[in-house]
Chains A and B, each alone.
Chain A
Amino acid sequence: ETGVTQTPRHLVMGMTNKKSLKCEQHLGHNAMYWYKQSAKKPLELMFVYNFKEQTENNSVPSRFSPECPNSSHLFLHLHTLQPEDSALYLCASSQGGGDSYNEQFFGPGTRLTVL
């Protein structure tokens, strides 16, 4: 595997379900990100981890819970979601502890549908 991988690619869940999204980067980067991409809206930064420590949490509801066990893996745990949470969830990584002149590398995303 190369680059940034995400599993599953598609997920359909009910509002009472608990599921997790997984992201893995094979680039040796130190920072990892979760974004939400909804139609006709800018990408929304949800969480940022630098060297496994969470450094940003942009007012994300508690029904989204991130986990970063090491610099290569990032999870997004989901529970009691709402239909408006349906979106494409993108994971990204970057080098240099999150310095913004280092570009982000994105995974293909997980298309989430909440029924």
Chain B
Amino acid sequence: AQSVTQLGSHVSVSEGALVLLRCNYSSSVPPYLFWYVQYPNQGLQLLLKYTSAATLVKGINGFEAEFKKSETSFHLTKPSAHMSDAAEYFCAVSEGGNQFYFGTGTSLTVIP
């Protein structure tokens, strides 16, 4: 069975600092990987996705993520945090079909 682990349920960074949100997955086959963001009182919005093309994926709002098969990781990064980045971030994985597996989420706080 698939599983997704997001290390750190809460991450705080200073405005302008590097954002690093961690995601590890378990999969017996090359997976499809996604990062979503959820702002208060809203649904999830796709930030980026990996579908077996380039291992470094660029998304919206300056975010990017790198697929590392050897580490079974898909960490999300942004070089410089902005106040508007404060939100809940979810990593998701799928091997195919209609089943998507989500992590428990990481709440990002940006300190002025």
Contact = CB atoms under 8 A, between A and B. Distances in A.
Interface of A: 4, 6, 31, 33, 40-43, 45, 48, 50, 55-56, 90, 92, 98-101, 103-109
B98 A100 contact: yes
B18 interface: no
Interface residues of B, number: 27
Given A98-B98, A103-B34, A108 B41 contact: yes
B104 interface: yes
A42 B104 contact: yes
Given A42-B101, A43-B102, A100 B43 contact: no
Nearest to A100: B94
Interface stretch (B45-53, B67-75, B78-86): B45-53
B2 to A, nearest CB: 11
Given A41-B104, A100-B96, A103-B34, 14 more contacts: A31-B98, A33-B98, A40-B104, A42-B101, A42-B105, A43-B92, A92-B43, A92-B44, A100-B100, A104-B100, A105-B46, A106-B44, A108-B42, A109-B42
